[in-house]
Amino acid sequence: MSFHGDSEERSRDKGATMKRFIGILPAAGIASRLRPFRYPKELLPVLFSRDATNGRARPVVAAEYSLLAMRDAGIEKCIIIINEGKPEILKYFGSGADLGMNLVYAVQSKPTGLPRAIHAAGDWLDGAHVCLALPDTIFRPRSAIREICGEICRNGSDLVLGVFPTDEPQHLGPVRYSTDGRVLEVQDKPLETDLRNTWGVAVWSPRFTELLAGSVGAWELKEKDEKEHPLGEIFDEAVRSGFMVRSVSFENGDYIDIGKPEGIHSIIMDGPECRLE
């Protein structure tokens, strides 16, 4: 694994309680669900933004949506995890200056699931709170990241999940939570569930980062084949271990997985409503 970029920049939350946040955007996957398509799915132009000064429309690529949501939440630095076969992502976003962010890159030689991708950047998190968004999803409202960052600042939680409605909970990560927002259970691609939602974005404290690191370390001792474990497994472990895990539900929101053909189709065919907010 190698790392590129300026590791000295610091991000900060701009809410009532000051905390330092670093974004993570895991983009090391191989897009197996889109085969035989071989272009990086993170660079698919899926939305459009209109320039306020000249009125011209420009395409917004998939990963840019999540980066803009982080930037709008006051997150100034994001670590993008890529694999060795995706130099196009580094070339496209570069230092992040065009987005008003500081982007740095960790290279994961073998994609083996979200927890290991996040752990690949662990040495550079430096005690910060972490904000996670995925590079192949569109979520609404785009302010969801700002809202979950505000929630963790107000309540001092270990983990806060942004939860969105979905018609496909069996393919995603449904969350069971109480009326006051306390998370009771996090499922991962359940065969059967009574829930009709999924977590889509997350923010957590250094304490949860330590839990994740411990889990990944234990797997590496046991599993020579580097079996993929879902991140929801560690989210649920945090709940069962007594961590303070909360949810912010966006009941009128949307969550679209554009890492599969159906998601891309729905974005393209939805018309004006899928334009950038």
The whole-angstrom separation of Cα 120 and Cα 106 is 7
**Residue 1 reports pLDDT greater than 70:** no
The whole-angstrom separation of Cα 150 and Cα 212 is 22
Average pLDDT of the residues in 56-74:
91
pLDDT category of residue 176 using cuts at 50, 70 and 90: very high
Alpha-helix residue ranges (DSSP H) falling in the chain: 62-72, 87-93, 114-120, 144-155, 206-222, 231-240, 261-269
Closest to 32 in 3D by CA, of 92, 109, 89, 113: 113
Q: 180-210: per-residue pLDDT in tens?
A: 999 999 999 999 999 999 999 999 999 999 9
The whole-angstrom separation of Cα 41 and Cα 256 is 14
**Residue 92 reports pLDDT greater than 80:** yes
DSSP 182: B
The whole-angstrom separation of Cα 258 and Cα 267 is 8
pTM of the model: 0.86
pLDDT of residue 225: 60
Average pLDDT of the residues in 172-183:
97
pLDDT of residue 199: 98
pLDDT of residue 260: 56
Q: What is the DSSP string of 247-276?
A: EEE-TT-EEEETTSHHHHHHHHHTGGGGS-
Average pLDDT of the residues in 85-92:
89
Peptide bond into 36 cis (omega under 30): yes
pLDDT of residue 13: 37
When the pLDDT of each residue in the chain is averaged and rounded to a whole number, the result is 84
Where do the domains of the chain lie, and which CATH numbers do they carry? Answer: 2-274 (3.90.550.10)
Average pLDDT of the residues in 92-118:
91
